[in-house]
Chains A and B, each alone.
Chain A
Amino acid sequence: DTAVSQTPKYLVTQMGNDKSIKCEQNLGHDTMYWYKQDSKKFLKIMFSYNNKELIINETVPNRFSPKSPDKAHLNLHINSLELGDSAVYFCASSHGTPYSNQPQHFGDGTRLSIL
């Protein structure tokens, strides 16, 4: 009974391709996030949605486009993949209030490798 699930778990593809990662949460949370974790384990916020509205949009190339069809889903589409996009991408969710002691719940990550 996975709380935050991401698909696919592994993604190996060629440079220049377009790919999507899907995320679903069954926790009833209203805020969802995408993070990028590099090879040194540094975790960087990319996007966040609250009630389907984009609320955090960090300095991310516009090749990355998030989409939230409803509060339980947040997808990430990446165009024209580059070598530097190789990383682990994590989806997370939480109860969303601006100043919050609510922790985030993470999926197991999608390991993206660009050949």
Chain B
Amino acid sequence: AQSVTQLGSHVSVSEGALVLLRCNYSSSVPPYLFWYVQYPNQGLQLLLKYTSAATLVKGINGFEAEFKKSETSFHLTKPSAHMSDAAEYFCALNTGGFKTIFGAGTRLFVKA
């Protein structure tokens, strides 16, 4: 069965520190993977997507994610956190059909 697991419902980092948000997936076919960000009172916005062209994917706002098939992971990172990065982050998976499976979300807190 296809699934997405985000490890850690809350992550707190200091401004300027590394951001690491974890996502593991389960899929019986090659997956398409996405990271979305949701700011308060807004809808989800695409940060980046993996489409098999490259395992290291760069997205907006300095975020990037690395696809590791052997670990079934697609973790999101940013070298230096900014206060404006505080938001909810969702990992998502498409393995066929029109349905995209979303993870439960990780809330990122950034401390000054």
**Residues of chain A having any CB pair with chain B under 8 Å:** 4, 31, 40-43, 45, 48, 50, 55-56, 90, 92, 96, 98-101, 103-109
User: CB < 8 Å: which of B43, B88, B100 contacts A4?
Assistant: B43
Provide 23 A-B residue pairs closer than 8 Å at the C-beta atoms, listed in order of the A residue.
Answer: A41-B88, A43-B105, A48-B98, A55-B98, A56-B98, A56-B99, A90-B43, A90-B44, A92-B43, A96-B98, A98-B97, A99-B32, A99-B96, A100-B32, A101-B32, A101-B51, A103-B36, A103-B46, A104-B100, A106-B43, A106-B44, A108-B41, A109-B43
Separation of A104 and B101 alpha carbons in the complex (Å)? 12
Residues of chain A within 8 A (CB-CB) of B105 are 41-43
In the assembled complex, the CB of B31 is this many whole angstroms from the nearest CB of chain A, namely 10
User: CB < 8 Å: which of B45, B46, B90, B97 contacts A43?
Assistant: B90
B interface, size bucket = 20 to 34
Residues of chain A within 8 A (CB-CB) of B88 are 41
Contacts between chains A and B (CB distance < 8 A), count: 62
Cβ-based interface call for B42 (8 A): yes
Name the CB-closest residue of B to A41: B105
Q: Is the CB of A103 within 8 A of B34?
A: yes
In the assembled complex, the CB of A107 is this many whole angstroms from the nearest CB of chain B, namely 5
The 10 closest A-B pairs by CB, nearest first: A106-B43, A101-B51, A103-B46, A101-B32, A43-B102, A106-B44, A41-B105, A99-B96, A108-B43, A107-B43
Q: Is the CB of B104 within 8 A of A101?
A: no
Name the CB-closest residue of B to A6: B43
Chain B 83-112 interface residues, beta-carbon cutoff 8 Å to A: 88, 90, 94-100, 102, 104-105, 107
Residues of chain A within 8 A (CB-CB) of B49 are 101, 103
